[in-house]
Amino acid sequence: MDMIETAHAVRCRPVAAHRRSLVGSRVRRARPVRGLKGGHPLRVRAQGDERGSSPGGLIAGGLKNALGFFKARMDEMMEDDEEAAVSRVVQRSPDDGSVASWSIDLDVFLREPTTPLSAKSAACVERVSLGMTCEFAERDAGVYPSRGGAGVRGSRYFVDDGLADPSGADATPGFFWIADEPGYFKFTTRLNEPVVASGKTVLPAGDVYFNAKIDVGEGDEGNDGTERTTSVRMTSGVATVKQDVKASFLGADYSGIMAEYIVVGTFTGTRRN
């Protein structure tokens, strides 16, 4: 896998003169403004009011409002498309209303994930397969970007009891899904113990991050003229783990401040119900 700087010159009083004005021993009484009886201060209109009432300010404000409305509409359209695809992933089973269930086929690279792996090198690395069933709860109400609970069944390493409640109320902490990028579905699971294959720790204990493209397709039209059935799959999936980057400065250890994600395998997902 494989900052804008503007400057302007300002004129200021000499530093020495400024210092004298701050530390002077005598304070002179403010002189009244010449021409005003009693020395009342002048009233000055704020520049912002003058600009806001000018024709140019009105036009600029109108353009800003128009652009803001257009951006809001575009965001709404993108949100609708994203939510529609996500709904197909996490919607309950149309047969019995059970929680969304997916078969995940994970191919893990037979190497210890201590350094980044390029796409060219990955093609030459042997892999081991891990299969599991992931369950995804419906989206949490009133939360954007969309997210919800997740669970795992039938796995020796991802120890979890799955989801019985489609709302995700029984989701194990650390197991969740999120859709913060249009067209993609991400979920996180947790390993209670490392996965060892051929004497190599291919997956360390801790969180494993999954990211896949949502592939929505249409099935064949029925013989009776019924509408096409919609199919959804997870494709081009990548699994990663997070590793702290060791760093130090002047003898102080700053490890843990920075981290990198290392690819540990690829996966696909198929809806089971």
pLDDT tens per residue, range 168-212:
888 888 899 999 998 999 999 999 899 999 999 999 999 999 999
pLDDT(17) > 90 = no
Whether residue 146 lies inside any domain: the answer is yes
pLDDT(56) > 70 = no
Whether residue 190 lies inside any domain: the answer is yes
Whether residue 65 lies inside any domain: the answer is no
Q: What is the pLDDT of residue 11?
A: 43
Rounded to a whole number, what is the largest CA-CA distance in the chain? Answer: 101
Whether residue 234 lies inside any domain: the answer is yes
Question: Tell me: the pLDDT tens digits for 129-139?
Answer: 999 999 999 99
Whether residue 77 lies inside any domain: the answer is no
How many Cβ atoms sit within 10 Å of the Cβ of residue 215? 15
The residues, any chain, with a CB within 8 Å of residue 42's CB and separated by 6 or more, are 33, 36
- Token pair 């690395």 is at which residue? 125
Query: Residue 152 in contact with residue 158, Cβ under 8 Å?
Result: yes
Domain hosting 204: range is 88-271
Whether residue 16 lies inside any domain: the answer is no
d(CA 230, CA 219): 6
Whether residue 53 lies inside any domain: the answer is no
Whether residue 52 lies inside any domain: the answer is no
Q: What is the DSSP letter of 123?
A: T
Q: What is the model's pTM?
A: 0.65
- Please report, in angstroms and rounded to a whole number, the separation of the first and last CA atoms in the chain: 32
Give the chain's domain count.
1
